[in-house]
């Protein structure tokens, strides 16, 4: 299904949008692409991402997009190495908590927290990464009971294949084609929002027979870009398949899963892959994502997009044409 699309920040390269409603407005928290001069590779070394901006709007399809400026920079993070990839923000008791992945000085991705007094920042980073954290792409769910859950993980450059059972391996292992796929992780956050309250758990995605998706099922298995939203009381876990360039989703009855695969949200875009968020605002649902059309297809210079998202009567998301291959 083709949908009307809008580029949100045509004057700059922004990607990986996390979007939430705060104080009656939509706030957009993207990563920020810069020219790096580094040849493209599977580890993502060509992504020169060193700061975050925050944007807001009251009408994502036609209204003004307000740039609140730079709100966090790697030079202000004490443990920083390089590469601020996708982030997310949650509100609790009037404070705003930004969760971000960043390579430390040993080039290992950890997750950090930065705090602000309003959703437009600026965000002040904590002095150390979260204990026990690893990999990339944090996404936060505030559940109806007031608990907060953090989803994270990404393969290849996201380093998730370096871990099993939350412990680092001596060598990275993507697994054999017939083995269960490497899952994203989910963990409940501590009351102060600064640490894990428990050991992270696997986010298991099942096929139609109730079996976990396999490593070789790269048209459906998780790769990166976790997002969680609720619709009609169900938990919708959505994600990117990475090297097959789809956004897919699975549905469960608990924030921990398991989740049963349902289908494709967005077919491939122009660019290597995409990363997204799904949010309801003023009675409509929106899919925020990115592609590389404005940069001529250069996958490390991406641009934010938005379109409306729809469900059928059974709660299935109607597949949107991404406009790529």
Active site residue 40: no
Active site residue 224: yes
SS (H, E, C) the chain: CCCCCEECCCCCCEEEEEEEEECCEEEEEEEECECCCCCCCCCCCCCECCEEEEEEECCCCCCCCEEEEEEEEHHHCCCCCEEECCCEEEEECCEEEEEEEEECCCCCEEEEEEEECCCCCCCEECCCCCCCCCCCCCEEEECCCCCEEEEECCCHHHCHHHEECCEECCCCCCCCCCCECCCEEEEEECCCCCCECCCCEEECEECCCCCECECCCCCCCCCEEEEEEEECCEEEEEEECHHHCCEEEEEECCCCCCEEEEEEEECCCCCCCCCCEEEEECCEEEEEEEECCCCCCCCCCCEEEEEEECECCCCCECCECCCCC
Catalytically annotated residue among 4, 16, 40, 91: 16
Catalytically annotated residue among 86, 88, 137, 224: 224
Question: Catalytic residue numbers?
Answer: 16, 224
């Amino acid at each position: 299904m083709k949908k009307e699309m809008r580029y949100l920040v045509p004057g700059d390269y922004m990607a990986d949008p996390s979007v939430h409603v705060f104080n009656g407005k939509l706030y957009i928290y993207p990563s920020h692409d810069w020219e790096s001069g580094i040849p493209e590779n599977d580890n993502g070394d060509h992504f020169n991402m060193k700061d975050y901006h925050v944007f807001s709007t009251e009408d994502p399809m036609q209204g003004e997009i307000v740039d609140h400026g730079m709100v966090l920079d790697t030079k202000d993070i004490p443990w920083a190495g390089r590469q601020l990839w996708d982030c997310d923000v949650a509100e609790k008791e009037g404070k705003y908590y930004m969760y971000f992945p960043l390579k430390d000085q040993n080039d290992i991705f950890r997750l950090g927290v930065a705090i602000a007094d309003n959703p437009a920042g600026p965000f002040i980073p904590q002095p150390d990464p979260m204990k026990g954290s690893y990999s990339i792409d944090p996404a936060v769910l505030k559940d109806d009971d007031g608990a907060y859950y953090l989803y994270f993980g990404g393969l290849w450059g996201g380093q998730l294949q370096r871990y099993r059972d939350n412990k680092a391996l001596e060598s990275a292992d993507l697994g054999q084609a017939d083995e269960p796929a490497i899952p994203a992780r989910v963990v409940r956050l501590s009351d102060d929002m600064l640490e894990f309250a428990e050991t992270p758990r696997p986010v298991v995605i099942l096929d139609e027979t109730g079996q976990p998706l396999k490593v070789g099922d790269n048209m459906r298995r998780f790769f990166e870009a976790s997002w969680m939203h609720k619709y009609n009381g169900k938990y919708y876990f959505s994600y990117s398949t990475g090297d097959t360039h789809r956004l897919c989703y699975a549905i469960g009855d608990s924030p921990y899963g398991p989740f049963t695969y349902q289908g494709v949200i967005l077919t491939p875009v122009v660019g290597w892959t995409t990363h997204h968020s799904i949010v309801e605002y003023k009675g409509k649902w929106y899919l925020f994502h990115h592609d590389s059309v404005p940069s001529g297809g250069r996958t490390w210079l991406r641009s934010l997009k938005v379109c409306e998202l729809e469900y059928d009567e059974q709660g299935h998301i109607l597949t949107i044409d991404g406009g790529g291959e």
